[in-house]
Amino acid sequence: MTKPVFPLTWDAQPIPSDIQQRIMPQALSPLNNLGSGFFANSFISPSLQRILYVLRDMLFFSIMNQMTPAAIQPIDQDFFRVLNCEAEHQLLSYIYADESPNPLLKLHPIEAVTRVASICFLNHFMIVSPSSSGLGRALTKHLTTAVETCKLSFLQELPKENFGLYTWALFVGAQGSQGQAERAWFVERLAHVAMICVWQSWEQVSKVMANYFFVMTLDGLSWRSVWDEAMTGFVISEADEMECLFERDAPIN
């Protein structure tokens, strides 16, 4: 998570129009909502939003590759391998663009959570780094730190949609730490958020997650298991429950 030692050796290139036509969802497809929660969030800088648009296109490619592999050509695979490296490098390096001595201190907590969770998303879901590997363990640690810095009491002071983004990061963290001690840490916080937001069903939560990087046909089973753990495997103490009820406001749709 440090500044990359070397810059990219190529200039960023837009996705060619012919590839765009092959991977983009139909006009009325619900997949067009992917990432809308990021792009409407005023706490995420334009620099990060530009990278998130690239991640969305990579997700469109991944969906097409899994659902309709015949539509994908070898040139598409080559292009997105390069784009994957480019996106990860930019997620690591964009905060150092202004030569600030402590760029991490300048990030809004919501942006910090989004940046780290996006790096984890790439490595857990696109590149596939096992949760028990050295890289997987390091990513979990960094995401734990970012989430811990963004307190629930702080979120209460922000627009309600930030709970949705925060929850997306918790799902990414829980899925990326499967089989590790930290999974319970993410699941516990998901249970707290569900109480605050008055989420009572998987259908409610999955509808919110669909505005970030979540695809029901690809991620539904694994993310549903995280939700079920949060609802049945974690017992909130009476003191914690009273605190959550005190903080709770109107439901988030």
Cα–Cα distance between 93 and 121 in angstroms, integer?
A: 17
**Tokens standing for 226?**
């995280």
Could you report the per-residue pLDDT of 136-186, keeping only the tens digit for each?
A: 688 989 999 999 999 999 999 999 999 999 999 999 999 988 888 889 999
* pLDDT mean across residues, the chain: 86
Residues 6+ apart with CB under 8 A from 141: 182
Backbone CA torsion sign across 33, 114, 167, 241: negative
Mean pLDDT score, 8-33: 87
Kindly tell me if the per-residue pLDDT of 240 is higher than 60.
no
181 in helix, strand or coil?
Answer: coil
Q: Read out DSSP for 98-110?
A: T--SSHHHHS-HH
pLDDT reported for residue 242: 43
pLDDT reported for residue 239: 43
Pick the residue with more confidence: 74 or 246? 74
Cα–Cα distance between 35 and 234 in angstroms, integer?
A: 29
pLDDT reported for residue 245: 45
| pTM exceeds 0.85 | yes
pLDDT reported for residue 219: 83
Cα–Cα distance between 65 and 23 in angstroms, integer?
A: 9
Could you report the per-residue pLDDT of 75-132, keeping only the tens digit for each?
A: 888 888 888 889 999 999 999 887 666 777 689 999 999 999 999 998 876 666 777 6
**Tokens standing for 213?**
């990087």
pLDDT reported for residue 70: 86
Residue 70 and residue 116 in contact, taking contact as beta carbons nearer than 8 Å: no
pLDDT reported for residue 35: 96
